[in-house]
Structure 1
Amino acid sequence: MKNYSIFSISALFIAATIVTSCSKDDEPTVSVSKLFVSNADTDPAVANLSIFDPADGATLAAPMTYNTAAPDGNGIVYDASSNVGFQVSRSTKSIKLFSVSSTGSVMNGSSFTDASLASGRGAAYDAINKVLYVASNTDSTIRVYNNAPALSGTVTANKVFKLNGQPWGIAFAANKLMVLIDLDRKEIQLFNNVNSIASGTVTPSNKITIPSSTRLHGLTYDASSDVLIATEIGAAAAPAIPNPTVAAFNADGGIYIIEGALAKFTANAAVTPDRTIIGSNTKLGNPVDVKFDARSGKKLIYIAEKANKSILVFRLTDSGNMAPTTMATVTTLPEAIFLDAR
């Protein structure tokens, strides 16, 4: 029979502890909730990218601000797995690349320009295939850029999808591209197997309409919960109100929440949203973009409110004339947002 000293037993315990600890090195120790805000200001002195970090607290602290040289900022996306982000600069017909440092700061990367990008708006990213989709509203197209992280200088889109209406908000999930059609169409189109679609005039696989809406704009979709959320901007020309009071807010905007979205697309029918957030208490004037935190215990809806210069946060269960759960007033013109929540 072998005899083990207390020193040997201690050594074995320490070794086991080290092995166990090392095996968990790649597990996240803290949650992440960063809201990236692309600002539409054209003044080069204005910081065109803002980040709220964290974005899921009881309040929204003042954001960190960065100048990524993307005036008239529109669509923005960020892929945490590869640490690459893209921001559309509508006025320069460019897409600016950025990354995020270990301390949370934004670092500017390269950029690429497409002279044929008439009016860059929403953006969506297929991280597996490294494909960037950019909506261009005035010429009714979606531009498709392959191997987007490696692009720089002057480029030409690999594909151009010609639509039957003006796209604005777009969302990508599981090789499906959802495209919101602007103006009076009140329509959201679904393109299945989008990476196999060729250039040229394209026809959606399915579509839904929201007849109760006036003018749709922002769009987000979460595949894990099959929830689609779109924003209503109402009268887009309504004047912005400097430093608005609760009573003075321009509040003709709204949010439409659609659950079980894919089945409703299959029916190719008009839909009644499961819930609508609208009314004077909402502070929704021109909600131009929307994102959703689908994590358990969160279920938060983020809104870029352009006319009233604010970021608004609601809950998925909200309905009717609800006040935001949290909000932040900003000095810039928030045009598009992206949420990194994990």
Structure 2
Amino acid sequence: MKRFKSQSILASIILTSLVTFSCSDDDSNKPGAMSTTTVYASNNANGNITSYDVTDASNITTKTLLTSSTMADGIYYDSSSDAVIQASRSGLGLEGFSNISSLMSGASVTADISGTNDMSSPRELAVNGNMYVVADNADADGNDTTPDGKLFIYTKSGNTFTLRNTITTNFKLWGITFDGNDLYAIVDTTNELAVYNNFLSNTTDATLSASKQIKIEGIVRTHGLTYDAGSDVMILTDIADAANKEDDGGFHIIENFTSKFASTANNGTLALSNQVRVAGSSTRLGNPVDVAYDADTKMVFIAEAGNAGGRILAFNNIGSGGNLAPAVNNDLASASSVFITKN
């Protein structure tokens, strides 16, 4: 899905090739208005949240907030309440922290947006309006020989998450992301991508088959994904051999994704010739588990869980793919999820 994190100073490791981030919205076009680009990240080493102000690439600032979780995964920023929400893998529920912009780095925070702790192994988080969906990677039926998982669907009202219903899938889950009302989901342990059309219309507990499922040529085992509707770009990560945590990973960029996905038959294969792959020893990609994309600058952010114990990486000049060195290379133990937002 989306996103970013760390504990060390980032500016000193930015290469000169890093481009300046920019964004535009109604407010930023007004005289004197300033726009900002922020990347948020979670991790499975200590459960803390780190934000990076990357508006000025030559002067990136970081802030780490200390949470009570010890492991966390999917992360999201809600601008309406200035809140970061993450899926706590130690607490087994969603936790949100409001008014984070006013907090100083190193502050200990207590969740003021919460709900019931229903999950077993939460991973990615996808948001559509006030609906929060979490992919749970745990075995759903108690039989390890059958691949399955669960999607937990929560409604957010005020400061409370309420579990509306769960959907059991016939494959193991990891990354999820919305395109309108359609939910794309990673088929874990494979190179496959699935979609559930009009996903939120399923309002009761049920076992549900995907509307469509395809293979992505060139990927060994995909984990993270993000989709940008404005540019119609889908990006998928490849962790390849999970035992090799250092250098066999990569990510794929699929432009004009909607038409390419539609023209690929159910259970068919999207050809590598219709994608751009970034991979190789220079990338430092071993187990890239999540991804975020800045369509304005064409910058890809990666939560790399394996290489040297974990990193946050960012890549520019991605158009031709290949064995690219990261423009940003920041240590982050057990990096798990990244999310980018512009205000």
Q: TM-score, normalised by structure 2?
A: 0.79
Q: 1:261 aligns with which of 243, 257, 260?
A: 257
Is residue 2:211 matched to residue 1:215?
no
Identity %: 31
Shift of 1:113: 5.0
Q: Is the 8 A contact 1:70 1:96 kept in 2?
A: no
Alignment-mate amino acid for residue 122 of structure 1: E
Cα distance in 2 for partners of 1:278, 1:58 equals: 26
Is residue 2:87 matched to residue 1:88?
yes
**Rg comparison, structure with higher value:** 1
Q: Is the 8 A contact 2:136 2:174 kept in 1?
A: yes
Q: Measured at CA, do residues 131 and 78 of structure 1 come closer, stay the same or move farther in structure 2, by a change above 3 Å?
A: same
The match for 1:187 is 192
Alignment-mate amino acid for residue 164 of structure 2: N
The match for 2:247 is 251
The match for 1:159 is 165
Q: Measured at CA, do residues 49 and 102 of structure 1 come closer, stay the same or move farther in structure 2, by a change above 3 Å?
A: closer
CA-to-aligned-CA distance 1:148-190 (integer Å, 9 cap, x gap): 55326xx6x2111111111111112322211111112x11111
Q: Is the 8 A contact 2:124 2:174 kept in 1?
A: yes
Shift of 1:277: 0.2
The match for 2:243 is 237
The match for 2:54 is 54
The match for 2:210 is 204
Q: Is the 8 A contact 1:70 1:88 kept in 2?
A: no
Is residue 2:337 matched to residue 1:336?
yes
Structure 1, gaps ≥5 residues long: 1-22, 240-249
The match for 1:13 is none
Shift of 1:84: 3.0
Q: Which has the higher contact order (CA 8 A, sep 6+)?
A: 2
CA-to-aligned-CA distance 1:290-325 (integer Å, 9 cap, x gap): 000112xx1110001111221111124250111112
Alignment-mate amino acid for residue 310 of structure 1: R
Shift of 1:99: 2.4
Paired positions, count:
296
* Equivalent runs, 1:120-139 vs 2, <5 Å: 120-127=122-129, 130-138=130-138, 139=140
Cα distance in 2 for partners of 1:71, 1:25 equals: 37
Q: Measured at CA, do residues 281 and 265 of structure 1 come closer, stay the same or move farther in structure 2, by a change above 3 Å?
A: same
Cα distance in 2 for partners of 1:59, 1:318 equals: 28
The match for 2:10 is none
Cα distance in 2 for partners of 1:226, 1:324 equals: 24
Q: Measured at CA, do residues 294 and 108 of structure 1 come closer, stay the same or move farther in structure 2, by a change above 3 Å?
A: farther
The match for 1:326 is 328
Is residue 2:62 matched to residue 1:66?
no
Alignment-mate amino acid for residue 37 of structure 1: A
Q: Measured at CA, do residues 33 and 24 of structure 1 come closer, stay the same or move farther in structure 2, by a change above 3 Å?
A: closer
The match for 1:147 is 156
Q: Measured at CA, do residues 311 and 24 of structure 1 come closer, stay the same or move farther in structure 2, by a change above 3 Å?
A: closer
Structure 2, gaps ≥5 residues long: 1-25, 141-148
Cα distance in 2 for partners of 1:210, 1:136 equals: 22
Cα distance in 2 for partners of 1:280, 1:53 equals: 28
Q: Measured at CA, do residues 228 and 25 of structure 1 come closer, stay the same or move farther in structure 2, by a change above 3 Å?
A: closer
Shift of 1:126: 1.1
Cα distance in 2 for partners of 1:193, 1:81 equals: 25
Q: Measured at CA, do residues 111 and 237 of structure 1 come closer, stay the same or move farther in structure 2, by a change above 3 Å?
A: farther
Alignment-mate amino acid for residue 225 of structure 1: S
Alignment-mate amino acid for residue 340 of structure 2: L
Alignment-mate amino acid for residue 188 of structure 1: L
Q: Measured at CA, do residues 223 and 89 of structure 1 come closer, stay the same or move farther in structure 2, by a change above 3 Å?
A: same
Q: Is the 8 A contact 1:99 1:108 kept in 2?
A: no
Is residue 2:233 matched to residue 1:227?
yes
Cα distance in 1 for partners of 2:252, 2:312 equals: 17
Shift of 1:85: 2.6
Shift of 1:108: 4.1
Alignment-mate amino acid for residue 306 of structure 2: A
Q: Measured at CA, do residues 115 and 323 of structure 1 come closer, stay the same or move farther in structure 2, by a change above 3 Å?
A: same
Cα distance in 2 for partners of 1:170, 1:64 equals: 26
